[in-house]
Amino acid sequence: MTKVLIIDDDLELMALLKEYFSDEGFAVETTDDGRRAIAEASDGTVDIILLDIMMPRMNGIEVLQRIRRVSAVPILMVTARGDDVDRISGLNLGADDYVAKPCSPGELAARIRAILRRTSRPEEGGSADDLLRVGDLVLKPSLRSAEWHDRPLDLTGTEFNLLEVLARNAGQLVSKQEISKKAFGRPLTPFDRRIDVHISSVRQKLGLRHDGQSWIQAVRGQGYQLVQDP
């Protein structure tokens, strides 16, 4: 059973979500203590975290930052509507997605399932026959692992999906709409910055080409492409 950890200081909301998610077939734990969340993420006892940004003592951004030092567990942020600064900060620190309050329990459950579908790992012994190689980049989609210059490349689940889309179309422009559908599982919405933020993170992890340019090139207003060496 998928275990969801809800981190929020709104006790009434957590009780409502726990009841709803339990009826949806999830195992649910709740806490308003960021330190407990960090500990559970570290020992691998949860499958996904629902993290509210506005909390006392230790805010959600700090919790997210500390979790990402020890775990790649999927994280869905909950932010105040219109709070772009927190959203961008969270995505930059490795959150997989965000949803703005107020939101329905049904929407949160749908987002959680979507994140789990695109970040899930196969059972041990999964096939690596679908190896995808672009120069020094090697992706094993069935194992959800990546290597860059013969070294493991540390990616979040969302970053892996995004890089896989670009790698399968290496040397070609991929529109933002296509990236959103294939990497995030939904159409691109107006003013949506999550693709740009995740691209920025992947660029940092890949570093620069020998000519000082990024491995992922942007075409303003159109999309991105993964550069191939001639």
Rounded to whole angstroms, how far apart are CA atoms 230 and 227?
Answer: 9
- Residue 162 is predicted with a pLDDT of 92
At residue 117, the pLDDT reads: 83
| Cα 206 from Cα 219, distance rounded (Å) | 19
Res 108 pLDDT > 60: yes
pLDDT attached to residue 129:
54
Residue 49 Cα to chain centre, angstroms:
11
171 Rama sector, left if φ>0, alpha if ψ -120 to 50, beta otherwise? left
b/e for 134-160, b at 16 or more Cβ within 10 A?
Answer: beebbbbbebbebebeeeebebbbbbb
- Is the pLDDT assigned to residue 166 strictly greater than 80? yes
What DSSP string runs through 26-54? -EEEEES-HHHHHHHHHTT--SEEEEES-
For the stretch 40-63, pLDDT in tens is 888 888 899 999 988 777 888 899
Tell me the pTM.
Answer: 0.68
Token digits for 52? 């509210």
Question: Is the model more confident about 74 or about 193?
Answer: 74
Q: Give yes or no for a contact between 175 and 223, defined as CB atoms under 8 angstroms apart.
A: yes
Mean pLDDT along residues 83-112: 86
CB 93 within 8 A of CB 65: yes
Check whether 165 has a pLDDT greater than 90: yes
Whether the pLDDT of residue 125 is over 80: the answer is: no
**Count, residues in the chain:** 230
Cα gap 147→139, rounded to integer Å: 7
Residue 201: pLDDT over 80: yes
Give the residue among 10, 58, 3 at the shortest CA–CA distance from 36. 58
pLDDT score of 72 more than 50:
yes
Q: What is the DSSP letter of 214?
A: B
Lowest mean pLDDT among 70-74, 121-125, 153-157: 121-125
Minimum mean pLDDT among 33-37, 166-170, 196-200: which range? 33-37
- The per-residue pLDDT for range 18-39, each reduced to its tens digit, is 999 999 999 999 988 888 888 8
Q: What is the mean pLDDT of the chain?
A: 86
CA distance 229 to 222: 22
